[in-house]
């Protein structure tokens, strides 16, 4: 039996892991909410790690409010950087392998080819900077770790672009969505499944990996497919980033090369359209 600690069980990724428990009878999961395990509290983190022996810790805890982070700098750093440090130090002390979820926001979006894991990072805002600081402290503290950078995460759980679009489709007749930012939407269930494949295989090829669904799309095209699948009559207008100013600057190019993790998993990563169709069905099921 493999013992796995999962943080932030109430977040969308944490909920995806919970839904996959039945598929992994050889893994014993311990799920902790942010109130059960405040990763910013070093003593509390150590208490949880000392309660029982874990083989892995999947750290889903993060401050992900990208725009609010521009003002809540201290809080974002406390969670994304210092919280990651507390988890890493506990993993080192108790000999636990860490799987940490990071983001495409560590890059500036000025690239013209899919980002590789060892490409130069240059985050544009507080969220990306604090997530990068978390990555760096993990790499400095541990030898046994997987850092998985992902992008445009959505699911039937929590707050995300898919659920926002479905809500707006019921509230409005017309919306504008940015068409000059491109990336790869990632179904959180696929990310969770890939993570558990790494654990189940006991793979020891530690390091940084990129995971997103296959395919390249703009936010506008992503929204267009959501409305097509949901048979929504809403009028969708393509706008530019300058037409929708936000406190935090978004990378215009968020495409990451996923060959490394595809080889690790020895499997093909699903295309974003097929995964979105599955997520849509699950959204409908969750409402019924």
Catalytic residue among 63, 115, 127, 220: 127
- For residues 66 and 12, the answer to whether their CB atoms sit within 8 Å is no
Q: Is 127 one of the catalytic residues? A: yes
Phi first, then psi, for residue 177 (nearest 5°) are: -130, 140
Cα gap 16→210, rounded to integer Å: 19
CA distances from 263 to 183, 198, 257, 268 (A): 21, 11, 12, 9
Place of tokens 């022996």: 53
Place of tokens 């919970």: 18
N- to C-terminal Cα separation, the chain? 35
Kindly list the catalytic residues.
127
């Amino acid at each position: 039996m493999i013992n796995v600690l999962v943080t932030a069980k109430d977040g969308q990724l944490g909920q995806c892991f919970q839904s996959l428990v039945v598929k992994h009878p050889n893994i014993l999961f311990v799920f902790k909410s942010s109130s059960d395990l405040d990763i910013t509290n070093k003593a509390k983190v150590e208490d949880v790690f000392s309660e029982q022996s874990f083989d892995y810790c999947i750290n889903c805890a993060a401050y992900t409010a990208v725009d609010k982070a521009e003002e809540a700098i201290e809080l974002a750093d406390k969670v994304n950087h210092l919280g990651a440090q507390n988890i890493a130090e506990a993993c080192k002390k108790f000999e636990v392998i860490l799987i940490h979820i990071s983001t495409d926001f560590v890059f500036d979006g000025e690239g013209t080819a899919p980002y590789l894991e060892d490409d130069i990072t240059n985050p544009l805002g507080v969220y990306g900077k604090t997530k990068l600081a978390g990555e760096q402290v993990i790499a400095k503290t541990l030898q046994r770790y997987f850092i998985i950078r992902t992008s445009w995460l959505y699911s039937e759980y929590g707050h995300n672009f898919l659920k926002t679009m479905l809500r707006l489709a019921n509230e409005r007749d017309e919306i504008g969505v940015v068409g000059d930012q491109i990336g790869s939407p990632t179904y959180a269930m696929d990310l969770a499944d890939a993570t558990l494949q790494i654990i189940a295989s006991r793979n020891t090829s530690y390091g940084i990996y990129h995971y997103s669904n296959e395919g390249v799309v703009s936010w506008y095209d992503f929204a267009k497919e959501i409305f097509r699948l949901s048979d929504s009559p809403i009028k969708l207008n393509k706008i530019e980033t300058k037409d929708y100013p936000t406190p935090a600057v978004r990378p215009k190019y968020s495409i990451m090369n996923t060959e490394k993790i595809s080889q690790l998993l020895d499997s093909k990563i699903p295309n974003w359209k097929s995964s979105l169709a599955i997520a849509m069905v699950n959204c409908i099921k969750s409402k019924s």
